[in-house]
Amino acid sequence: MEYHADINWPDFIQRYWQKRPVVLKRGIKDFVDPISPDELAGLAMENEVDSRLVSHLDGKWQVSHGPFQSYDHLSESNWSLLVQAVNHWHQPAAALMRPFRALPDWRTDDLMISFSVPGGGVGPHLDQYDVFIIQGTGRRRWRVGEKTTLKQHCPHPDLLQVDPFEAIIDEELEPGDILYIPPGFPHEGYSLENSLNYSVGFRAPSGREMISGFADYVLQRELGSQRYSDPDVPQREHPADILPQEVDKLREMMLGLISQPEQFKEWLGEFISQSRHELDVAPPEPPYQPDEIYDALKQGDKLARLGGLRVLRIGEDVYANGEKINSPHRPALEALASHIVLSGEMFGDALEDPSFLAMLAALVNSGYWFFED
């Protein structure tokens, strides 16, 4: 199913994006759930899927992590099942990510889906990323507060909450309604009846994550091997002193690694195109031969991108899941990055190049793209 968000994106970005929370009533008209509660519960029983159960009974918060064996012990109220990165594992649910491609792909993270019974929720909290919460089946009440300094506490080791707050938004969401919350705005939602919620989250890398990722890149490639040198070592009054010019020179050595544009671009492409969650990679058996790929595309078959696969472009270079895709056929590379579903025509004359076909076959045989049924 195709979903369309009734959002004026230029106006939304100017007024709300990273500025103010807002409820978009009937943001997706005639909304139909792409997944059932039973299907979601089944995903949470899989080893590879990140899931958790959060309950609030007798004044105590409890958190347990999947995979789950059974749900027979659960009551009829005050719990939620949350499953991360459902777009990686469930193709119909992955379609919910597409209406938000008005925002950059590299900022998009994953689709978290929660099923809650009456009273179910995770308590008042705040996030450090943008999120669009789409209401599915059922009704859920949401409260959002002003962005301010709030004391955080842990009622459970796996649960970080904030103190009570004054609400600037207090609404019941119905199917198709969208709640947008920028980073840092406290919020809480609890279910009024059995309900499904779909959270499209956005990635916001921290400086710490980027420094750590770049350090890994430098070590893997054995870069930065040049050592400090000082043939004209300056005199100083105290041997223990490190002089300001020496501090500057050491800092410049480090900045010099990051300041090389091509090297930084290659690292960024690899770093930012990696998924934070496991992908449902299923390489075809037997693997495709390049001529089979050619014949299938020429006959009208279409290649679909694996759910959750991050395909990003920097300049003319395209990266997928931490790897650069090497090819001189720029329009074909642009098609790989721009389209979720690909037809043969989108590749143009690249399909006549055996080297491109071999590369495309390698991507399909890696499980990154697959032929639609």
Q: Residue 165 pairs with which residues in a beta bridge?
A: none
CA–CA separation, 317 and 312 (whole Å) = 8
| Gap between the terminal Cα atoms of the chain | 15
Determine whether 297 is exposed, middle or buried from the number of CB atoms within 10 Å of its CB (0-12, 13-18, 19+).
Answer: buried
pTM: 0.92
Q: Which residue has the tokens 């779909």?
A: 198
Token duo for residue 96: 């919910």
**Domains of the chain: residue spans and CATH:** 9-202 (2.60.120.650), 207-259 (no CATH), 290-371 (3.40.366.30)
> What's the half-sphere exposure (Cβ side, CA atoms, 13 Å) at 18?
8
One digit per residue, pLDDT tens: the chain, 373 residues?
899 999 999 999 999 999 999 999 999 999 999 999 999 999 999 999 999 999 999 889 999 999 999 999 999 999 999 999 999 999 999 999 999 999 999 999 999 999 999 999 999 999 999 999 999 999 999 999 999 888 999 999 999 999 999 999 999 999 999 999 999 999 999 999 999 999 999 999 999 999 999 999 999 999 999 999 999 999 999 999 999 999 999 999 999 999 999 999 999 999 999 999 999 999 999 999 999 999 999 999 999 999 999 999 999 999 999 999 999 999 999 999 999 999 999 999 999 999 999 999 999 999 999 999 7
Cα 25 to chain centroid distance, Å, stands at 24
CA–CA separation, 326 and 344 (whole Å) = 19
- 219 Cβ neighbours under 8 A, 6+ residues apart: none
Cα 260 to chain centroid distance, Å, stands at 28
Q: Residue 320 pairs with which residues in a beta bridge?
A: 311, 323
Q: Phi and psi at residue 96, in whole multiples of 5°?
A: -70, -15
Long-range contacts of 214-217, Cβ-Cβ distance < 8 Å, separation of 24 or more: 214/257, 214/258, 214/267, 214/271, 217/267, 217/270, 217/271
Crossing angle of helices 261-272 and 207-220, rounded to 10°:
110
Residue among 253, 250, 268, 252 nearest 223 (CA): 253
Q: What local confidence, expressed as pLDDT, does residue 150 receive? A: 86
- 8 Cβ neighbours under 8 A, 6+ residues apart: none
CA–CA separation, 369 and 125 (whole Å) = 37
Q: How far is CA 7 from CA 12, 22, 31, 103, 145, in A?
A: 7, 12, 15, 12, 23
Q: What local confidence, expressed as pLDDT, does residue 56 receive? A: 94
Alpha helices per DSSP H over 159-318: 207-220, 244-258, 261-272, 290-298
